[in-house]
Chains A and B, each alone.
Chain A
């Protein structure tokens, strides 16, 4: 077209604007940052009795915003057919909110659809251009966007790399801990240190940096909760405008903090600061930052269609919901504002079958050698895709459809459902990614990038099952949720039966994983026939997680006879460790204890074979003794002793003076408040207070720490991993604290075998005539203390 400019680039931001309708930011291949705009009318729908719809029509005709009304029919997923609707098309996207709220307030009994959908999803559905997609754009010199065409899909494995300009800003200390004094600012190869006082020069310098570098991403630490609000306050106070936004016509958007319940948990969302034309990401407020970083965030933006700034801060549940909404928009299916669809009525007898979770077989406690860990690959999402489970495909009244095991319900597999349609490309991309990762050497940067993506997908896929049963999920439905668990149980039982047919003992079954062993089976090839058979009977993707040299399943701390699901550690044949449910994986374990436990495990992992484990025990005990000695001598840095707990209630709601409640009270007295869902950090100290909140201005000296308490925690962590070798906590305590002996005897432990799974591995009494290697704080101890220790 004549007079049009064409460019290729990435879609980095879009938002509604009262003057320009829709603003679209393109980061062009040639480095230009383009602010384009276009008209973008938006439609929402209302359904209900014809008379009420006529009333709504009349009401909206006098609405001040320019809009267009029409009657029509749209497909309702839950009704399974097209329903008559009133379509309200709003000319300017910024008018949608006000118009819709006026309608909903006046006519609350009508059912509304497509009313509150994120703009970027609508844009993706209409134009095909999704967040961060590489596009070709054609626009007028005025900036009016005429054409946009996405040149790729979210499912590409190698999208063109985004040439981002990043400005990173970080205060010198955590502002909730102490008032920061200076900021470190990094851009490109330059690093600047800016004093927070005096304030005027700080503002002038920052303004200069922002103008000079014009970053696409402002990457901060504590930017949501402290830095940006503080800078905005200063800028206002000194009347020195700070160009935080790239779009000068827009204000910075601040979202207040809130607390809400989700999946039975209290979630705290801190306040947020969003920018226009440029992103702000606060590392300290980004979801799962440690897991997948910027690469994961960008990939999530691509596949969920959410804006980068949103996706960085939202839960995987929101991501899954967005993907489903995008599928619905593309299919022309109505997206309900509130889900009203209810559970089908059923016999109480059915409840016993339907209301179960996944199948969990208690493990056979103890140490086992040559064990295969077998996993169903993303089992629940795979089931949803394979069996076509979706809110609209599952139900009692579907003659001819396939019967779901146990549930007196059927699933229609003739047309792909909304949920499977959404998940299929995600599952396929994840599997492809896994293949690629396996084929890349560890040093390859691409591998790191793929690993970040894989981690982001894992969270989405883990969440999609729970989301199906989430009460507020727009495309959730309890029957579909139950169908998935029913197929899950069936799948695991089929796998168990296949294993037993081939002579394997099933040690543990946990939701989507299975641990098996068989005398004589120790190599990957020995387990292949079983994998093939399971894949054949279940028709779901299955993978060998690995063959363990040995693995220990741990009992309950309360009762040593009681097994506990998913609490184990083991060593694969390549020497790598796998741990679940032990102290070092828990948030509330102080870092130094996690480190000691992991170091001990790594030492044990050095045993080539389970038979060589006893030889590793002296070394592991040595580590433990050194840690205990360091602790008592005050050589452990205080920061490594911090205990972190997630708050589930407010100070007033605590019934007893638990350590968390005490810490909370101390923070309250210092004028700092935490809300449920936030994390409280504290130290155990001696004296009446017993704890010291970590985020108070002062830090206690190492000698104030309650060493006894930490020692108990340390011994507990050590005994959790040594207990399968026959060393109980009390014995360890005696050894570490009183007299200290370790009898390095090959006969003091044995492997679990045969019919007798419940029995622990007892420590046999040492023969008297063997030379005793003795470990102590000071090295070898005299013979007398050996006897004392044994008594």
Chain B
């Protein structure tokens, strides 16, 4: 056993009181000190936590960013997304390989650079983009990549490069320097300046929980994470649930490809989010809040901690907030690369130091959540909106939007348009209006709500409205013009779900692979009508029987493109007039023979 590792693990165990529910934090501490989490470290953690070694490794091996073998001094994750591929991903990838001398997933020998892919890192409005150590670089070109790598080789840190003006990591300027939040349209709800936070917190704690819930109920606000559960009802149920402790969790996992509005909110409205959490805590009777922050947003961590600290310094967090008797603390829980942790129960499992496996429901988190206690999990945007609703009233909020869908929401716009970025819109806006607003006159198709959402066909869906009864959107719009290959896009999204499936339930683990194999067959021109029928049958199987939202939405990329653009699939179908099955791949079938011959011949020659 490496002495250094032994000492490190002992320190880490000590810092977290050998509490196994904090395993995620402990693993991060080890990885950040050593670059990876070695077998020795896992064994030492297991001993210290009274867990078996495979049990600890179960958590380690679940998350994309945890590494069990040494990788490199600078770890570079290039975002491999549909949008990046439209904007020069291949060239940037080639430039990275050339500049670093490394290749994706393997060492470069010197250990200086390691390359890997990452799914969306929350920068779709400025891709290609990559994570380097704790920061990101966006708007990449091959030239920019060569420049960055040369600077890293000369001994500069990624952070110095991303933050040339050397702003403090706790300042918003630092976050803006690293990852610009392109807020192109804000108001009347989000990103309001000059809010008097102490007065707002006072107005919360001076009201009864019932009064707060009445206001939130009156606003008709539904959760902005995607499921659209009424926020007021969630708070009420958690308040009424029995539990020695109650928890408030802010879901800042923002893993849905094409979505980046929570990053903007956490940068430019962080205190609104904290305020919303305080309101929820006061309402349900919680003393502990958690912000579950995706690891891709590490550059936001110090800033958010600074914002929490600033609230604490003003007596707005901590014990006996403004003399009201309310005790409430917020900690940040870093994720480690797992889209499925956006599911609230998977997120809770992760907060408890486990694999991000969605739980069986019922029971729901409001009854049995974090550490088995009633827990409110809301999206970043929901908390930010609630902070305004509590201030200005439910009626003010319902005056905006439509009758069924109150208020405003943020859109994350990316793809083929002139002005990608963040827009605040009132519910009820049509697709046509959004496309005009963002300069997307050439749009043919629009993927809404990310891969888990649906593909719209502009000539058919142009006048549909964004609202809960029609286009119930999580805010993400990826715009595609007529030059884009929608089958390839559907394939990329399907592969994303295969990579991100936790694998705990049969339909999602198995079905995703079958859909991917089949769309490859379509793209290769070896599919027949039966294959399209299979898409529908197998897709329905996944939608109906999967355990969580990942599995139930994973067939959407194929099913919704098949529904909206059937001609693209039909054009690829094989007439099958040959004696062979259409699906038969002669090249593939012969490849084993070829390689066998190669191997045998090589021995003889």
A binds B: no
